């Protein structure tokens, strides 16, 4: 529960500072820059080399890509029918296609499924969600940001995306046996700054009320992320013959709240930041009820 209290405290602190203090102009943007360019790459460099691959666990990775790909198809289609802006569509693809599979996912999986399930959660998070962020998230941000971009330009932006570069380096380091202990001692604390700073930044921009214009996108976005996405992941697992702990962890990770870093990425690329932050904040709160409900349903 300590992780949940930290999460809620940082979110509340950001909202309180925005409401009653006078934070420096551009503080949220500066924090976002640190999160995407320093903290997230450090976390990837620290965690990915520690993962032990097992082909039988493919469902954990595939379920995360199903959530991301499904969100892209769904909100691209809905956006066109409802005449949403490209920025709004991109924001929903990011925050509703990528889940908070680590900071919320690890403690919730530990609490609901036990310590033995954590290794499975790490695979879903690092090889599923983080790769989707580093590759798919960078592509979505480039395509929906409003800046002209052909395929080669999008490719260049992905290759310049720090978390993607960190992922490539981490995979190589993992093959070579991992980092020396002193390097891990540096990467770990830098990576640990991601969640508190990202949530504080989101809190700075969070408004407890949503406008009438935002209500439908928020409801549709969270309906996908918290209800339909895990249902599709469950269907995929059943059809593919996955069962037991692997199936349960894959579905629960698919049901997690929106990813904090996805909202930061949306903010950096001007993809409807107020909507992205609203979906994130309300998603975090609602997931504290919806994820345990999925656990009970799975049995």
For residue 3, what pLDDT is reported?
65
User: Vertex 92, ends 298 and 129: CA angle to 5°?
Assistant: 55
The confidence band for 248, taking pLDDT boundaries of 50, 70 and 90, is very high
Task: Count CB neighbours of 241 within 10 A.
Answer: 8
For residue 2, what pLDDT is reported?
66
Residue 90 C-alpha from the chain's centroid: 14
Tens digit of each residue's pLDDT (9 = 90 or more) over 52-86: 777 778 999 999 999 999 999 999 999 999 999 99
User: Vertex 36, ends 272 and 15: CA angle to 5°?
Assistant: 55
Task: Count CB neighbours of 29 within 10 A.
Answer: 12
Share of the chain above pLDDT 90, in %: 46
Q: Which of 136, 134, 143 is nearest to 70 (CA)?
A: 136
The confidence band for 148, taking pLDDT boundaries of 50, 70 and 90, is low
**Most confident region among 78-87, 118-127, 150-159 by mean pLDDT:** 78-87
The confidence band for 96, taking pLDDT boundaries of 50, 70 and 90, is very high
Which residue ranges make up each domain of the chain? 27-203+211-298
How far apart, in whole angstroms, are the C-alpha atoms of residue 299 and residue 294?
9
Q: Which of 85, 66, 77, 178 is nearest to 124 (CA)?
A: 66
For residue 4, what pLDDT is reported?
66
CATH tag for 27-203+211-298 (out of 3.30.1390, 1.20.1260, 1.20.1510, 1.20.1530) = 1.20.1530
Comparison of pLDDT for 90 and 260, the residue scoring more: 90
Comparison of pLDDT for 159 and 21, the residue scoring more: 21
For residue 112, what pLDDT is reported?
84
Share of the chain above pLDDT 70, in %: 96
Q: Range with the lowest mean pLDDT among 84-93, 103-112, 144-153, 223-232? A: 144-153
For residue 195, what pLDDT is reported?
77
How far apart, in whole angstroms, are the C-alpha atoms of residue 279 and residue 277?
5
Q: State the average pLDDT over residues 254-271.
A: 91
How far apart, in whole angstroms, are the C-alpha atoms of residue 241 and residue 11?
40
Query: What value does the mean pLDDT of the chain take?
Result: 88
Alpha helices (H) along the chain: 2-20, 27-34, 40-47, 58-81, 86-97, 105-113, 118-123, 130-131, 138-144, 151-159, 162-175, 181-191, 194-205, 212-223, 229-240, 244-254, 260-268, 273-298
Residue 22 has pLDDT above 70, yes or no: yes
């Amino acid at each position: 529960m300590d992780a949940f209290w930290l999460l809620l405290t940082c979110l509340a602190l950001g909202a309180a500072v925005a409401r009653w203090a006078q934070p420096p102009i551009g503080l949220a943007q500066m924090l976002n820059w640190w999160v995407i360019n320093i903290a997230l790459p450090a976390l990837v460099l620290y965690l990915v080399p520690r993962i032990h691959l097992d082909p039988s666990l493919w469902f954990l990775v595939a379920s995360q890509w199903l959530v991301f790909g499904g969100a892209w198809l769904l909100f691209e289609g809905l956006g066109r029918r409802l005449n949403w802006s490209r920025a709004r569509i991109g924001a929903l693809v990011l925050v509703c296609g990528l889940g908070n599979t680590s900071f919320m996912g690890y403690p919730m999986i530990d609490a609901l499924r036990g310590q033995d399930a954590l290794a499975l959660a790490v695979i879903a998070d690092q090889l599923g969600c983080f790769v989707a962020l580093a590759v798919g998230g960078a592509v979505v941000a480039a395509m929906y940001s409003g800046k002209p971009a052909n395929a080669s330009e999008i490719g260049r932006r992905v290759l310049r995306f720090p978390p993607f570069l960190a992922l490539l380096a981490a995979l190589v380091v993992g093959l070579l046996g991992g980092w020396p202990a002193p390097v891990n001692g540096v990467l770990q604390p830098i990576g640990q700054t991601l969640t508190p700073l990202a949530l504080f930044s989101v809190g700075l921009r969070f408004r407890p009320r949503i406008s009438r214009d935002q209500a439908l996108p928020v409801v549709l976005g969270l309906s996908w992320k918290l209800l339909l996405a895990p249902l599709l992941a469950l269907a995929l697992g059943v059809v593919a013959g996955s069962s037991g702990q692997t199936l349960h962890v894959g579905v629960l990770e698919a049901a997690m709240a929106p990813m904090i870093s996805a909202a930061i990425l949306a903010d950096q690329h001007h993809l409807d930041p107020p909507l992205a932050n609203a979906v994130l904040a309300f998603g975090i709160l609602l997931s504290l009820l919806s994820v345990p409900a999925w656990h009970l349903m799975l049995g």
